[in-house]
């Protein structure tokens, strides 16, 4: 088996390869003077089983994934792992004339002959149906729960910032025997959310708010404000996908967040938890 990490998921690919006792395949990525991308797989993949790992947090990451897929044409079998799939939040038409962006991405990826696609904590599971090959969504939330349980927090409480991640947070709490609660969020604009004020039993407790992703940090900042008003001790924010766009890091720190905890589905300094174990487990299956 060859493990090929794309430009956005090099560290994660190395962790997966190490867990399978394989050296990651060397791949080169450069840009031409006009800024177009170029990829080259430095080993022959003819008749090999290939696992391609590449998050698509940016447009250029998606292009690199498509290029790598093309470069794997002679492989016997190609499995693609998209740890963070960009454009997944536009999973349906909200207004007439809109593209279903998640479907467009899935179609582009499965224009190639693939064995299987794995994603991790997709924003909406129905996106799996847009891939024309078998597709499975892996769950990294328990890795965060285990990490949180090891932090030695004071009467910890897990919080879901909205109903979309209610089940995920409930399962995380059940797995580690932690308390949990949920907020009620309404999004008014891309970077503006409001949260219904809610009395919670947070006085003097350490709290971890967990979401599938943190983008602008608006959701988390709003939740932190309410928790602080209610007398929470330390407030941590955690997510599977640290998109952390614009000034999210500054915004969260300014809101009083003690730390940002995230996985390496997107490789950032905050990505202290690796999703490699769940990928390895899926590949071994």
Supply the residues annotated as catalytic. 185
Region binding ligand R5P by CB under 6 A among candidate stretches 126-134, 135-143, 216-224, 268-276: 216-224
**192-195 vs 135-138, strand pairing mode:** unpaired
Q: What 3-state DSSP class applies to 216? A: coil
Hey, what are 282's tokens?
């899926």
To ligand R5P, the closest distance from the beta carbon of 48 in angstroms equals 37
CA angle, corner 59, sides to 79 and 24, nearest 5?
40
How many other CB atoms are found less than 10 A from the CB of residue 196? 9
Q: CB-wise, 75 or 165, nearer to ligand R5P?
A: 165
Site pattern 183..202 for ligand R5P (x: CB under 6 A): --------x-x---------
86 belongs to the binding site for ligand R5P (CB under 6 A) = no
Distance in angstroms (rounded) separating the CA atoms of residues 57 and 70: 20
Q: CB-wise, 212 or 267, nearer to ligand R5P?
A: 212
24 belongs to the binding site for ligand R5P (CB under 6 A) = no
Hey, what are 198's tokens?
């809610």
Choose, by CB under 6 A, the member of 72, 213, 252, 276 that binds ligand R5P.
213
223 belongs to the binding site for ligand R5P (CB under 6 A) = no
Contact (CB, 8 A) for 156 and 207: yes
To ligand R5P, the closest distance from the beta carbon of 165 in angstroms equals 6
Hey, what are 238's tokens?
């955690």
Contact residues for ligand R5P, defined by CB under 6 A: 161-162, 164-165, 191, 193, 211-219
């Amino acid at each position: 088996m060859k493990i090929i990490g794309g430009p956005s998921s090099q560290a994660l690919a190395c962790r997966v390869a190490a867990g399978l006792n394989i050296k990651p395949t060397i791949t080169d990525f450069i840009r031409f003077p006009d800024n177009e991308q170029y990829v080259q797989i430095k080993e022959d993949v003819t008749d090999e089983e290939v696992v391609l790992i590449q998050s698509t947090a940016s447009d250029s990451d998606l292009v690199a994934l498509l290029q790598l897929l093309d470069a794997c044409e002679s492989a016997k079998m190609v499995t693609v792992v998209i740890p963070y799939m960009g454009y997944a939040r536009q999973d349906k038409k909200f207004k007439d004339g809109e593209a279903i962006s998640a479907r467009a991405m899935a179609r582009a990826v499965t224009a190639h002959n693939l064995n299987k696609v794995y994603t991790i904590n997709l924003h909406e599971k129905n996106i799996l149906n847009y891939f024309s090959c078998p597709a499975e969504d892996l769950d990294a939330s328990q890795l965060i729960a285990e990490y949180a349980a090891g932090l030695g927090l004071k009467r910890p409480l897990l919080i879901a910032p909205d109903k979309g991640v209610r089940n995920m947070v409930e399962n995380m709490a059940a797995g580690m025997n932690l308390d949990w609660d949920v907020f009620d969020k309404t999004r008014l604009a891309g970077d503006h959310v409001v949260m219904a004020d809610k009395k919670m039993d947070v006085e003097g407790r350490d709290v971890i708010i967990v979401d599938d992703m943190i983008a602008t940090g608006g959701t988390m900042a709003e939740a932190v404000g309410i928790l602080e008003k209610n007398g929470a001790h330390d407030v941590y924010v955690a997510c599977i996908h640290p998109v952390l766009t614009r000034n999210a890091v500054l915004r969260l720190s300014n809101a009083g967040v003690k730390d940002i905890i995230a996985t390496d589905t997107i490789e950032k300094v905050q990505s202290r938890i690796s999703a490699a174990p769940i990928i390895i487990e899926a590949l071994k299956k």
